[in-house]
């Protein structure tokens, strides 16, 4: 199938009380692992690409890989810009072939965030591209962006509802206690905030920093209204740990296929586990 926007898959997720996974692509092996797991589990899937990852892969390579992956699959696949930093960046990614974009104006004051997000929504929707916005400040590290705990700010439910009404986004990421990267302790999510916002809006909420959160916290978050969950770090760890194990056993290995192949398999099992946990299996 050609790439699709997130609109239909997220509508179905909200109605069916499950979540669709956004798994970030960092290279070919990530792309293959994500698509193979989604296909085998008959799950819709979102391929996430951050600006940093696009820089690393090359924007055209990223789009080409995602397009081939989507065409080979029979499940719906969206190609989504993760944490887009400006209107210009969002337009650049749409022009390159992305079917969905996130505009992350969460570091701006509320009015400015609304203004930028609305502008992206108007332009993107005219092209059939879906948009995710963000409110509150999610802690942790992703790419070159670091937010320490003291500066992480939870989303205000009233503001989040207002933000949705003013912008018309298709999905809304709100800060509810999760963080990007590896957690130091066990994360506790604010399910009350998720529920307060979710029951007032008809789009799903997005949970960023989906790696390393206990399964029961994820289940409760989905029940409260999370319909999209982003995962990157757990795949990175699975790949890297596999490589470390192989190199520790065999110091002479030099053919990348001998370690990247098993690394790809390890990521595929991570994605499969998340798809089942999120409940999006057999929903394609
Ligand atoms: O936007 C991407 C995600 O929020 C990924 O978070 O690396 O903690 O899984 P993670
Ligand atoms: Zn994120």
pLDDT single digits (tens) 64-119: 999 999 999 999 999 999 999 999 999 999 999 999 999 999 999 999 999 999 99
> According to the model, what pLDDT value does residue 67 have?
98
Calpha distance 55→62 (Å, rounded) = 9
What is the model's pLDDT at position 151? 63
In this structure, the strands spanning 139-142 and 145-147 are antiparallel
198 in contact with ligand 1, CB cutoff 6 A: no
Partners of residue 17 on adjacent β-strands: none
Q: How far apart are CA 27 and CA 77, in angstroms?
A: 17
State the pLDDT at residue 243: 98
What pLDDT sits at residue 150?
59
- The answer to whether the annotation marks 108 as part of a ligand binding site is no
User: What does each C-alpha distance from 6 to 153, 238, 248, 262 come to in angstroms?
Assistant: 27, 27, 41, 30
Closest CA to 147 of 160, 136, 163, 132: 136
Distance of CA 83 from the midpoint of ligand 2 (Å): 6
Torsion of CA 58, 59, 61, 64, to 10 degrees: 180
Q: How far apart are CA 225 and CA 151, in angstroms?
A: 25
Exposed, middle or buried, 109 (CB in 10 Å: 0-12/13-18/19+)?
exposed
Ligand closest to Cα of 81 equals: 1
Tens digits of residue pLDDT in 200-209: 999 999 999 9
Q: Is residue 208 in contact with ligand 1, taking CB distance under 6 Å?
A: yes
For residue 177, say whether it is annotated as part of any ligand binding site. no
Query: Can you tell me the distance from the alpha carbon of 26 to that of 261, in angstroms, rounded to the nearest whole number?
Result: 15
With a cut of 50, which residues of the chain have pLDDT below it? none
Q: What angle do CA 229, 234, 236 make, to 5 degrees?
A: 120
**Per-domain boundaries in the chain:** 6-278
CATH topology of domain 6-278: TIM Barrel (3.20.20)
Indicate which atom in ligand 1 lies nearest the CA of residue 50.
Answer: 1
Is 180's C-beta closer than 6 angstroms to any atom of ligand 1? Answer: yes
Secondary structure (3-state) at 130: strand
Is the minimum distance from the CB of 36 to ligand 1 under 6 angstroms?
Answer: no
Q: Is 156 a catalytic residue?
A: no
Alpha-carbon distance 23 to 7, whole Å? 17
The 139-142 sheet, strands edge to edge: 145-147, 139-142, 179-180
Whose tokens are 């996974």? That residue is 21
Which residues are CB-contacts of 46 (< 8 A; sequence separation ≥ 6)? Answer: 6, 9, 20, 21, 22, 23, 77, 78, 79, 80, 100, 228
Q: Retrieve residue 25's tokens.
A: 């692509």
DSSP letter for each residue of 64-89: HHHHHHHHH-SS-EEEEEEEE-SHHH
Task: Please report the ipTM that was assigned to this predicted complex.
Answer: 0.98
Model pLDDT, residue 264: 99
pLDDT at 65: 98
What is the pLDDT at residue 144? 67
């Amino acid at each position: 199938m050609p790439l699709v926007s997130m609109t239909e898959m997220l509508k179905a997720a909200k109605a069916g009380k499950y979540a669709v996974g956004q798994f970030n692509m960092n290279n070919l092996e990530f792309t293959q692992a994500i698509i193979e797991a989604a296909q085998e589990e008959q799950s819709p899937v979102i391929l996430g690409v951050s600006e940093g990852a696009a820089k690393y892969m090359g924007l055209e390579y990223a789009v080409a890989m995602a397009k081939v992956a989507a065409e080979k699959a029979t499940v719906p696949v969206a190609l989504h810009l993760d944490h887009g930093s400006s209107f210009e960046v969002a337009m650049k990614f749409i022009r390159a072939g992305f079917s969905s974009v996130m505009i992350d104006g969460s570091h701006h004051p509320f009015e400015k965030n609304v203004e930028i997000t609305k502008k992206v929504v108007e332009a993107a929707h005219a092209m059939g591209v879906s948009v995710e916005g963000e409110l509150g400040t999610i802690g942790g590290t992703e790419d070159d962006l670091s937010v320490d705990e003291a500066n992480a700010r939870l989303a205000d439910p009233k503001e989040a509802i207002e933000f949705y009404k003013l912008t018309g986004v298709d999905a809304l990421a709100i800060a509810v206690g999760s963080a990007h990267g590896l957690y130091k302790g066990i994360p506790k999510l604010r399910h009350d905030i998720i529920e307060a916002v979710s029951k007032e809006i008809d789009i799903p909420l997005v949970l960023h920093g989906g790696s390393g959160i206990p399964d029961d916290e994820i289940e409760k978050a989905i029940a409260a209204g999370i319909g999209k969950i982003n995962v990157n770090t757990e795949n990175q760890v699975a790949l890297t740990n596999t490589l470390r194990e192989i190199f520790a056993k065999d110091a002479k290995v030099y053919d990348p296929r001998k370690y990247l192949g098993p690394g790809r398999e390890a990521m595929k099992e991570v994605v499969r586990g998340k798809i089942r946990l999120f409940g999006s299996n057999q929903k394609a």
